Structure 1
Amino acid sequence: MPKKILLLDPATILGGAELFCLELLEKLDRVKFKPVLVSSGQQRDYIAKIPTDIVKHLLPLTSLKLITPYKFIINLRKLKQICLKERPDLIFTNTIRAHIYGSLISRKLKIPLVWYVHDFTFPRFFARHFSNMPKAILCNSQAVREDLVQKISAKNRFKLKAIPNGVDLEKLKHYKYCKPNFKWEQNCFYLGAIGRVARWKGYHLLIQAFAKLTTSFTNLRLIIAGAPSTLKDDKKYWQELQMQISAGKLQNRVFLVGFQKNNWDWIKSFDLLCHTATSPEPFGRVIIEAMALGTPVIASNLGGPAEIIQNEKNGFLFNPSQPIELTNLLKKLISNLNLRKKIALEAKETVQQKFNLTLIVKQIEKTF
């Protein structure tokens, strides 16, 4: 009899955490485990990607910053009813909101619980208080694990285990590249960046470095694929990037193309992927995807990327507080095709050895 796993993932956006949950649903060993999903239903693309054999329950888990105490209690009651109906052997939670709901239900119904933590935003009070409840706390990087070490009590630190995200190498074998719909120019060198448009992602540094190289490399182009969230500062930052592009007269060279669904096709179209976060990145999913697809990567040396990339072996790292490092690295790599090819080969090997999704899911299954 397979063990029933209830995965709690609000999925109000379709980011790295949500994509990883979808991959986990697909890859879990069906002989050993029967997954059931509880999600908000607010993200249509997420719902569309749920494997067809998965039993799903839609429960609109509003952001804890916006929810009223009454609505929070109603949601808890509904989640309790779902658990009583499904009788899961274990609850697996994805994102902070899910950890809090899942912890309360786990304690009430005495169901074992596992967290998967994807970022640094877990408030200290909640992390410390609720970390008594899961039997295991999985983190997508050592950087996230170290962040939680500082937030939870010493008696619970043994629960922490870093298990990274991965790339589905089986899916990659059957992947067929389709060049995205864009006005591609012949004989141009394309730098690319993919991710949510937020200030800490450091796109302004990338545009700044790009501007310094346009005289030396007239065929250089930059594409930033991503959109701001509904946060006020994200929207403001988007406008600032547009103004930066206009002020530098780069409108025909730098392109903000918004959110794109087909990330692999865009990554494959870039000659170089740039990840320029100015604050620690929890992991860096797009980095391992680029490495798997054979696109060389430059990334800032903060957080997860420094765990993925061995500098000058399978990619390049720079210090975002020293923007000249980024400019010099770009110049070096644009000018050296052989170096880019060498780095790309090493990067593919790294993904096969360390970020194979099938093997990573097996590690997670062991915690169940």
Structure 2
Amino acid sequence: MSKLKVLYICPNGYMGGAERFVCNAARGHSESSKIRLTVFFFTDGEAVDECNRLGIETHVLPFTFRMRNLGKLLKAILYLRVFINDGAFNIVHSTMPYAHLMACFATLFSPIKRIWFQHGPVGGTLDKLANLFHVDRIYFNSKYLESEHLKMSLSSRNTSKHKFINYGILENKASDTEVEKISSELRTFSEQKLFLSAGRLCSWKGQDNLINAFLAASQKDSDFCNKAKLVIIGSAQTDRDKAFAKKLFDLVRENKAEDKVLFLGHQKNIQNYYHACDIFVHTSTIPEPFGLVVAEAMKNRCLVIGSNVGGVTDILKNRETGFSFDSTSSNATESLIPVLLETFAKSREQNLIDPIKENACKIIESNYSIKQMTDALESDYEILC
């Protein structure tokens, strides 16, 4: 039997959550006997490089375009249409509404099957436009995400086409040597507790709330002040993000906290930092569709603080698999302070936190493997075709 030819369309070449899904799915599909995968990116970047390293057939649109520029938009649609026709693909699998819109225009009057993976956030203009077009399947990675999608007009007409696909979390082994090196470089003394934040530096990721809460906790508790340090990993991608990142740097400098709050920029081998640090903090100010970094931290047995709303609640249960707070409220900073202090205190008692970390790891290992994800995808591809 010949392999199904599947085209993934991914708008961004940089590595975000949706792009990580594409790369992890590509990793699983690379060993498949059922499908032949090609990934089409609109821009170059780290995600493109990773797909190339995996030996996946990868193509990058050779020019840039914006939807508001009709001429370039039509040029991009025609380019994509020719690429799809020449490739004789059976399925076009689009990540995010932007890609789904382009795929719909490029496959007009074509029998090709269209899949839209609704990674979220949901409800923007592109979502509403994409929701008007025909689709053969819509994937969701959490119940919360589906519920948000169904709030849009006309969404209920496609409920029979909905399917849940759990993200596959990559099994990246930490290097004991690197973990020890990172730990010794970050810690001023061995008993110091390291709080970790990882992700893109942008306003809705809430790093400003985290810094303010961390500084406030340091003022409230002298032990916390003396023995806690905050490590922030991530970079700013857009001009707006860069302006926000500058505010973060200024906030730390104005509070003379450069020795307490460290910015490390983008780091490739994040698993080493999960193991080197004690507590991972996730502070998105809007409900996350899933929370990929939370799942990664759990898999690496790093104690997690995260939101009590959104898709992350599928895996984060307060005091069972981590600790939670309302990261989306107007008083998120105040809500986080006592949780920072509590986890700091409990992190020194392994008998209290080890069961929580173990519960979290088991949930991820049992339900969120790359093999489980790619098996579910490939089975559904066969059903559609």
TM-score w.r.t. the length of structure 2 is 0.87
The ranges of structure 1 where at least 4 consecutive aligned residues each deviate by more than 6 angstroms after the TM superposition are none
Amino acid at match of 1:5: V
> Does residue 185 in structure 1 map to residue 188 in structure 2?
yes
Give the distance between the partners of 1:279 and 1:87, measured in 2 at CA. Answer: 40
Aligned pair partner of 1:317 in 296, 307, 324: 324
**Preserved contact between residue 99 and residue 115 of structure 1 (Cα < 8 Å):** yes
Partner secondary structure for residue 375 of structure 2: helix
Change in Cα spacing, 1:55 to 1:125, as seen in structure 2 (3 Å) is closer
> Does residue 335 in structure 1 map to residue 345 in structure 2?
yes
Q: Which moved more, 1:208-217 or 1:122-131?
A: 122-131
Matched residue, 1:136: 137
Give the distance between the partners of 2:62 and 2:149, measured in 1 at CA. Answer: 27
Partner secondary structure for residue 109 of structure 1: coil
> Does residue 176 in structure 1 map to residue 175 in structure 2?
yes
Give the distance between the partners of 1:46 and 1:235, measured in 2 at CA. Answer: 23
Where structure 1 has 5 or more consecutive residues not aligned to the other structure, the ranges are: none
Q: Which moved more, 1:51-60 or 1:247-256?
A: 51-60
Give the distance between the partners of 2:32 and 2:47, measured in 1 at CA. Answer: 24
Residue 51 (structure 1) shift: 4.8
Amino acid at match of 1:185: T
Residue 228 (structure 1) shift: 1.9
Alignment of 1:2-21 (within 5 A): 2-21=3-22
**Preserved contact between residue 193 and residue 274 of structure 1 (Cα < 8 Å):** yes
Change in Cα spacing, 1:56 to 1:201, as seen in structure 2 (3 Å) is closer
Residue 52 (structure 1) shift: 4.5
Matched residue, 2:112: 111
Per-residue CA distance 1:96-123 (angstroms, 9 max, x = gap): 2211111122333221111112112553
**Preserved contact between residue 232 and residue 263 of structure 2 (Cα < 8 Å):** yes
Give the distance between the partners of 1:253 and 1:129, measured in 2 at CA. Answer: 45
Change in Cα spacing, 1:260 to 1:128, as seen in structure 2 (3 Å) is same
Q: Which moved more, 1:270-279 or 1:157-166?
A: 157-166
Residue 246 (structure 1) shift: 2.2
Matched residue, 1:68: 69
Where structure 2 has 5 or more consecutive residues not aligned to the other structure, the ranges are: none
Change in Cα spacing, 1:48 to 1:124, as seen in structure 2 (3 Å) is closer
> Does residue 148 in structure 1 map to residue 149 in structure 2?
yes
Give the distance between the partners of 1:64 and 1:301, measured in 2 at CA. Answer: 36
**Preserved contact between residue 278 and residue 302 of structure 1 (Cα < 8 Å):** no
Partner secondary structure for residue 6 of structure 1: strand
Residue 49 (structure 1) shift: 3.8
**Preserved contact between residue 93 and residue 99 of structure 1 (Cα < 8 Å):** yes
Give the distance between the partners of 2:141 and 2:64, measured in 1 at CA. Answer: 24
Matched residue, 1:202: 206
Give the distance between the partners of 1:282 and 1:364, measured in 2 at CA. Answer: 19
Matched residue, 2:232: 224
Per-residue CA distance 1:323-364 (angstroms, 9 max, x = gap): 343222222221122222121111111112222221122222
**Preserved contact between residue 201 and residue 278 of structure 1 (Cα < 8 Å):** yes
> Does residue 273 in structure 1 map to residue 283 in structure 2?
no
Change in Cα spacing, 1:162 to 1:64, as seen in structure 2 (3 Å) is farther
Give the distance between the partners of 1:84 and 1:247, measured in 2 at CA. Answer: 57
Provide the alpha-carbon RMSD of the alignment: 2.2
Amino acid at match of 1:224: I
Residue 290 (structure 1) shift: 0.5
Per-residue CA distance 1:249-300 (angstroms, 9 max, x = gap): 2111111222222211122211000001121112111100010001010002
Give the distance between the partners of 1:151 and 1:273, measured in 2 at CA. Answer: 33
**Preserved contact between residue 142 and residue 290 of structure 2 (Cα < 8 Å):** yes
**Preserved contact between residue 20 and residue 47 of structure 2 (Cα < 8 Å):** no
Matched residue, 1:97: 98
Matched residue, 2:88: 87
> Does residue 213 in structure 1 map to residue 217 in structure 2?
yes
Amino acid at match of 2:196: G
Give the distance between the partners of 2:266 and 2:123, measured in 1 at CA. Answer: 26
Q: Which moved more, 1:17-26 or 1:101-110?
A: 101-110
Residue 61 (structure 1) shift: 6.8
TM-score w.r.t. the length of structure 1 is 0.91
Residue 160 (structure 1) shift: 2.5
Amino acid at match of 1:203: Q
Amino acid at match of 1:164: N
Matched residue, 1:40: 42
